[in-house]
Structure 1
Amino acid sequence: MEPPPPPPPSSSTSTPTPSPFPHLTILTPSKTHPFEPPKKKITTGADLPHFLSSLAYRDLGIFILQLNHAMCPRKPSPSSTSTTTTPTSTSSQIRTFPLDARPAGEPTLVTRLRAVLQELERMIDDAPPEKGPRRFGNISFRRWHALLRERVDLLLGGCLLMLPGGVWEEWGPGGGGALEEVRAYFVGGFGSEQRLDYGTGHELSFLAFLGALWKLGLFFEGGVEGQGVGDGEVERHLVLGVFERYLQVVRRLILTYNLEPAGSHGVWGLDDHSFLPYIFGSAQLTRPITEAEPMPLEGSVPGAPRPSDVAKPSTVDLHRESNMYFSAIGFINDVKTGPFWEHSPILFDISGIKDGWGKINKGMIKMFNAEVLSKFPVVQHFQFGSLFSWDADPEAAVPAQTAHLANQPSNVKPAPAGSGPGTAAPWAQATKMPGAAAGVPPGPGIPYSRAPWTGGGSSAPTMPRGGAPDTGPPPPTAFPRGKLGTASNQFAVTKAPWAKD
């Protein structure tokens, strides 16, 4: 996948980073920065083309690719590897970034954000769930959310005010109008108290919260220059130290309050609630690269589990503490019963990829663009301010009118006739799906129930809701179970009985 084009030069942009790839712009502190209270802008499907050409869409894409690239294993640079180094010793020098071994030198803000997330988890004890069975979410979640809104300024404000060097105060007394913007994305990251649900739109809001703090330069004490911008270290702290901790809190909320999936495809979705751990988790297992190389499109790090191992509960239990992809699969196993191929057919299809985790990571980026950023039910609640702006990106391409994009509530307005090609989206080729028929414009979408990067389409077998093909032997009716309280308690045989090893 080609790297996205760099953002246009701006007077508010910091000193260029050493990385050859674009990074989310870091603004220069200024009391005159026009902060805006974030507001919803996407009210119908007709607003989607504008969003897909907006500065917010560009910045979200750049930030995801930036974090994704940072999580890829690193091989020794040529200057640090002698010509006499053996393959074995070279392999031993590869840097990987597991969950259970966070890198040293954690930024102060990362430490404080983890403390904030710990307090949010503790607040569950202040709003215990109502007793008794409930089909939908537990109404006590509304009490927890009320506590969140009541305490958010104290939690976030105190966290930011205590940053060394007065980094937060550089934006004005109390952060000026910045707190209002970052607060909106933070609160939006913990589900809906009205609908009692949680989904990928809320996950996107928390990503924007981290991106907003990045833009304000708050992870770099004492200024951006010379603070390692572009070497991936700070990004890895964000993913491993903050985002994974956020996922732990969210999973506790889902289990405690029985939150409904928001904007879910049901069994035909990748996951009921999350998407980003599959991107970052697959990046953790890709073929190693140097800092100057783009993300690999295929291959895996030496010793990585096979993609097909996600359908083996014992292997999931083994890797869920160190890898985000397997951690997400483990949570599915915790809350769902039955064969893996039946309750998670898309993930099961992906487990058959033969070209390694690099191929899966590439596909996950495409799928995120298609199934999260290009879907009205997901992005309709996203809020736009000055840090993630609704304004049009002057270098954005006009979104191609595809069947996928047109299949939105109220339909979307077609692209204007004669519109120029412009510049590609932040993920460049990630918006194009492989395997398109001749004469059909490539566009986002899931050719159910084939993984979107395997070239499936109309020739793919028809799959009913249960996940079993229309032909072939029926699945077994009984399976041995494993130890209670672990993912092994799922059916031991999780692959469809007709699948090949």
Structure 2
Amino acid sequence: MESVQSPPQTQPGQTFPVLETLDPSRPHRFIKPTKMINEGSDVSHFLTSKAYRDIGLFVMQLNRAMCPRKVKGEDGKEMFRTFHIGSEYETKPVESARKLQELLSRVESYIDEAPPDPGPRRFGNVSFRKWYQLLEERTTGLLRECLPDTVLSFGSESSGDGATALDEIKAYFLGGFGSAQRLDYGTGHELSFLAFLGCLWKLGAFKDGQPNGDIERNIVLGVFEPYLRVVRRLILTYTLEPAGSHGVWGLDDHSFQPYIYGSAQLTRAITDDEPMPLEGSLFRAPKPGLVVKADYVEEERKRNMYFSAIGFINDVKKGPFWEHSPILFDISGVKDGWGKINKGMIKMFNAEVLSKFPVVQHFPFGSLFSWERDPDASTPQQSIHLANQPMGTSSSPSGGGFAGAAAPWAQGTMMPPPGGAGMANSRGPWGPDHPAPRPTPPQGNTAAPWTRSSDRPSG
């Protein structure tokens, strides 16, 4: 018997939806994750699926947890509590996060067993395949060692094909470390690791933490940030190619989520009962424009995930920041604070990660992240955004794509259609005072139109 997928849950004392946790007393039918997105038109179905709904809910849940909180000091005065890299959420996490840190440390250690081949190479280093083979061979044992028995034995009943919780968890875990075939890594792999954490959440792995944001901070700072460090070492060691990247017109060659959680770290403080702010910044937060100051980034990357991601760009790219990262440079000119940047990042994640065939095509679907249609999904509006998705050889054009905002979490976060090559208020040297030619971005790509001060996100 397959357990019923319940509506999004809320944690005690608050009204903001969170990813569901399955009832361990009810049998659950696991399904070995399978590739379902084979052509551009399949993305339209994905955007109305339970998997899309759950991914969005989990991202929004983690995002809100990273927003600073208003607290009362001993003298009764209002204070702000912030959450940063290197805090107790990373150094003294709950046991579930600590075991995942141990898991990541073991994974990273395999690099020493698969040193990169010497000599220059045009593409990724083939030794990455040896590293990945080691990972594949050892993953089952690692997961059994680092995950609770209650998770691995969840739902005693297996499906006809013998699928287990481990089968689903393992698929997303392995998908989180790049492609051994293509020698690349990108936001689709990052998305797979998020799904791995989402599987663990659904199966009750994180019940050892406090609700209302505390356990989520253990996940983001105690697990996801260490994961990013492992991935960055893999990229540097094996010169992995960007996967599904827009090149210079993408936000980042390899990652997206640190920009969401990192901007949340710097938004205006809220109480536990308030929604995410749409604009404004934490008192004395660094100005967005400081991302172009390499020395400042080098210091702030130790505390903030947004600046940590920028710092890695500086590690791998040379030249003027505006030249190699024009979208991030445009965003650095936002005048309405980190709250607006955070809201825009959610929009862009929806548009540039979840709605793009090259990114989501390898995402597999099982029972925990299901291909089934979300019964509560609203009928998505047709838009230009998905109209140019790649088509399979056996398919016929669908007549246009969807906006990709069917799930409730995505309402009010749809990315507006990109305007053109330039921006009205661009900070770059290609602006009105510097008419040097600027390359035309690929059709359908985002030029971060939400960075315009007059274009406040809705919702």
**AA at the equivalent of 1:155:** L
Query: In the alignment, does 2:361 pair up with 1:375?
Result: no
Whole-angstrom distance in 1 between the partners of 2:397 and 2:13: 40
Deviates more, 1:400-409 or 1:300-309: 400-409
2:291 equivalent in structure 1? 310
Query: In the alignment, does 2:12 pair up with 1:17?
Result: yes
After superposition, the Cα gap between the structure-2 partners of 1:423 and 1:27, relative to the gap in structure 1 and judged at 3 Å, is same
2:412 aligns with one of 425, 429, 447 = 429
- Aligned 8 A contact 1:12 1:28 in 2: no
Whole-angstrom distance in 2 between the partners of 1:188 and 1:112: 20
CA-to-aligned-CA distance 1:242-275 (integer Å, 9 cap, x gap): 0000000000000000000001111011000000
**AA at the equivalent of 2:300:** H
CA-to-aligned-CA distance 1:191-212 (integer Å, 9 cap, x gap): 0000000000000000000001
1:136 equivalent in structure 2? 123
The aligned length equals 425
Secondary structure, in 3 states, of the residue corresponding to 1:406? coil
After superposition, the Cα gap between the structure-2 partners of 1:387 and 1:327, relative to the gap in structure 1 and judged at 3 Å, is same
CA drift of 1:109 comes to: 1.6
- Aligned 8 A contact 1:14 1:27 in 2: no
1:37 aligns with one of 32, 39, 57 = 32
1:472 aligns with one of 430, 434, 440 = 434
Whole-angstrom distance in 2 between the partners of 1:449 and 1:473: 13
Whole-angstrom distance in 2 between the partners of 1:156 and 1:183: 8
Gaps of 5+ in 2: 438-459
- Aligned 8 A contact 2:8 2:17 in 1: no
TM-score, normalised with respect to structure 2: 0.86
After superposition, the Cα gap between the structure-2 partners of 1:331 and 1:34, relative to the gap in structure 1 and judged at 3 Å, is same
Whole-angstrom distance in 2 between the partners of 1:15 and 1:193: 39
CA drift of 1:473 comes to: 6.7
CA-to-aligned-CA distance 1:225-244 (integer Å, 9 cap, x gap): xx633x10000000000000
Gaps of 5+ in 1: 1-8, 222-226, 434-444, 451-455, 476-501
CA-to-aligned-CA distance 1:457-486 (integer Å, 9 cap, x gap): xx688x9xx9735862769xxxxxxxxxxx
**AA at the equivalent of 1:50:** H
- Aligned 8 A contact 1:13 1:28 in 2: no
Could you list the structure 1 runs, at least 4 aligned residues long, displaced by more than 3 angstroms after superposition: 9-17, 166-176, 421-425, 445-450, 466-471
2:378 equivalent in structure 1? 397
2:275 aligns with one of 276, 284, 294 = 294
1:326 aligns with one of 295, 302, 307 = 307
Secondary structure, in 3 states, of the residue corresponding to 2:185? strand
**AA at the equivalent of 1:413:** S
Deviates more, 1:307-316 or 1:17-26: 17-26
- Aligned 8 A contact 2:384 2:400 in 1: no
After superposition, the Cα gap between the structure-2 partners of 1:448 and 1:460, relative to the gap in structure 1 and judged at 3 Å, is farther
Superposition pairs of residues 198-237 of structure 1, within 5 angstroms: 198-221=185-208, 228-229=210-211, 231-237=212-218
2:66 aligns with one of 64, 68, 71 = 71
Whole-angstrom distance in 2 between the partners of 1:278 and 1:151: 31
**AA at the equivalent of 2:410:** W
Whole-angstrom distance in 2 between the partners of 1:186 and 1:448: 38
**AA at the equivalent of 1:333:** N
CA-to-aligned-CA distance 1:35-64 (integer Å, 9 cap, x gap): 000000000001111100000000000000
Secondary structure, in 3 states, of the residue corresponding to 1:426? helix
- Aligned 8 A contact 1:270 1:344 in 2: yes
CA drift of 1:172 comes to: 3.4
CA drift of 1:303 comes to: 1.4
After superposition, the Cα gap between the structure-2 partners of 1:13 and 1:460, relative to the gap in structure 1 and judged at 3 Å, is closer
CA-to-aligned-CA distance 1:435-463 (integer Å, 9 cap, x gap): xxxxxxxxxx544556xxxxx5xx688x9
Whole-angstrom distance in 1 between the partners of 2:253 and 2:364: 22
CA drift of 1:157 comes to: 1.1
CA-to-aligned-CA distance 1:396-419 (integer Å, 9 cap, x gap): 122222112111102862479xx9
**AA at the equivalent of 2:359:** V
Q: Percent of aligned pairs with the same residue?
A: 58
Query: In the alignment, does 2:96 pair up with 1:109?
Result: yes
| CA radius of gyration, larger in | 1
After superposition, the Cα gap between the structure-2 partners of 1:414 and 1:228, relative to the gap in structure 1 and judged at 3 Å, is farther
Whole-angstrom distance in 2 between the partners of 1:365 and 1:48: 18
Secondary structure, in 3 states, of the residue corresponding to 1:75? strand
TM-score, normalised with respect to structure 1: 0.79
After superposition, the Cα gap between the structure-2 partners of 1:247 and 1:105, relative to the gap in structure 1 and judged at 3 Å, is closer
1:177 equivalent in structure 2? 164
Secondary structure, in 3 states, of the residue corresponding to 1:201? helix
Whole-angstrom distance in 2 between the partners of 1:46 and 1:134: 36
1:365 equivalent in structure 2? 346
After superposition, the Cα gap between the structure-2 partners of 1:412 and 1:469, relative to the gap in structure 1 and judged at 3 Å, is farther
- Aligned 8 A contact 2:116 2:126 in 1: yes
2:81 aligns with one of 89, 95, 101 = 95
Whole-angstrom distance in 2 between the partners of 1:422 and 1:316: 34
2:45 aligns with one of 46, 50, 65 = 50
**AA at the equivalent of 2:320:** P
**AA at the equivalent of 1:266:** G
CA RMSD of aligned residues (A): 2.9
Superposition pairs of residues 233-252 of structure 1, within 5 angstroms: 233-252=214-233
Superposition pairs of residues 328-347 of structure 1, within 5 angstroms: 328-347=309-328
After superposition, the Cα gap between the structure-2 partners of 1:298 and 1:154, relative to the gap in structure 1 and judged at 3 Å, is same
